[in-house]
Amino acid sequence: MIRGKRPSPGRSRPPFRGGGNRGFIDPKKFINKAVINEQVEDFIPEHSFADFDIDPRLKKNISDKGYATPTPIQDKAIIPVLKDADVVGIANTGTGKTAVFLVPLINKVLLDQNQKILIIAPTRELGIQIDEEFRWFAKNLRVFSACCVGGANINRQIADLSRKHNFVIGTPGRIKDLMGRGLIDLSKFKTLVLDEADRLLDMGFINDTRYMARLLPKPHQTLFFSATFSWEVQALIAEFLNNPVMISVKKQDTAKNVDQDVIKLENGDLKVDVLSRLLKHPDFNKVLIFGRTKHGVEKLSKILSARGFRVESIHGNKSHGQRQRALGLFKESRVQVLVATDLAARGLDIDNVSHVINFDTPNTYEDYIHRIGRTGRADKKGKALTFV
């Protein structure tokens, strides 16, 4: 546990304590030491990417991207997807599940150029990230996508849809908008991917998703990925999938290499003062800070900037371009700190985040799991701290 030091006497800065807590989570759940050596959970894959029955040109792109050994979810799920089965993948964030559906589905198109695939993501950031991954895997294969996410220029998306494309990757609202304009005909799509399906449920997109799924021809292949396996998620699986192959590689709620602790404030401590002291330590070199509200995140970002920190913010009041710029600067380590709402908590793949700090406690423990999943990725150690 980290304790804050009391501010010096005579300071007159107005307190900034962040948002209140709408739901109680036992602070003990925010403390969990990283497991450095856990030999029991060592993973030995059954396959290499070279083993999979896919087009040699696609194998070359996979190799050029630096992929050789599949992750557990890739090792177990790619073959059922190649066999056109419905698949449910339950896995922690950062486990490489995007490749689980992109690799076999690109191969599916290479075998049949008439195939069309719909990939639905809950946020524009995740949709854009999937599209960026797609472009890596599909390089020089003449397989194309249209990325249709809210907040981005719809004219560019309309132009992309007017050209040859086999993949539509997007968010529910924008896809429905383009359907209403007669630009997407789901009767031609024989594959549906629901990525971060639990988040689609949490964000209220499930009715739109249900509507779109009903417009696909029957039978069609459905791939369903989720980081959680609540009863609501199980109900969705029963509704959307037909006799699916169930694959779960979740070993525990939080990544074994994320060291979790709490920051307990003493009487009179100001959260922003304690946070500022932490950020001055050299090991806090790439820090993702979560707040609850758009207003609170923007206010905290401005305070940290005024104190000399290189900081950006992302939240719902930012334009698409502003959010992408902020993410780009953080990914490239041109800023030290990114302050975000839970918008950024799921699906984003940002390398080498040293710390996740929960300035405001999350509403649910599941939200906490997804927040801290932004650090400790790809077998690197990370640190998560929560103010209590």
Q: What pLDDT, on the 0 to 100 scale, is given for residue 229?
A: 81
CA 203 to chain centre: 14
| Strands, sheet with 117-120, edge to edge from the N-terminal-most edge strand | 145-148, 167-170, 117-120, 191-194, 221-226, 87-90, 245-248
Residues with Cβ within 8 Å of residue 384, at least 6 apart in sequence: 30, 258, 259, 260, 261, 355, 356, 357, 358, 371, 372, 375, 376
Rounded CA gap, 319 and 238, in Å?
37
**Tell me, what's the pLDDT at 96?**
87
* 7 pLDDT tier (thresholds 50, 70, 90): very low
43-248: CATH architecture: 3-Layer(aba) Sandwich (3.40)
Per-residue pLDDT of 289-309, as tens digits, reads 999 999 999 999 999 999 999
pLDDT in tens, 100-133: 999 999 999 999 999 999 999 999 999 999 999 9
What pLDDT score was predicted for residue 266? 80
- What are the boundaries of each domain within the chain? 2-37+256-387, 43-248
Mean pLDDT of the chain: 86
- Contact between 117 and 105 under an 8 Å Cβ cutoff? The reply is yes
* Residue 245: strand pairing partners: 87
For the segment 247-267, what is each residue's pLDDT rounded down to a tens digit? 988 655 555 678 899 998 887
Q: Three-class SS of residue 127? A: helix
Question: Yes or no: is domain 2-37+256-387 CATH 3.40.50.300?
Answer: yes
Of residues 334 and 369, more confidence is placed in 334
Give the C-alpha separation, 135 to 145, whole Å. Answer: 8
Range of lowest pLDDT (44-58, 209-223, 343-357): 343-357
0.85 surpassed by pTM: no
Query: Residue 83 and residue 70: Cα distance in Å, rounded?
Result: 18
* C-beta of residue 157 within 8 angstroms of C-beta of residue 148: yes
The Cα 174–Cα 149 span in angstroms is 6
* pLDDT the model gives residue 81: 97
How crowded is residue 73: how many other Cβ atoms within 10 Å of its Cβ?
Answer: 22
Q: Do domains 2-37+256-387 and 43-248 have the same CATH topology?
A: yes
Buried b / exposed e along 287-297 (16+ C-beta atoms within 10 A)? bbbbbbebebb
In the chain, count of helices (H) and strands (E)? 13, 14
- Is pLDDT at 4 greater than 80 in this prediction? no
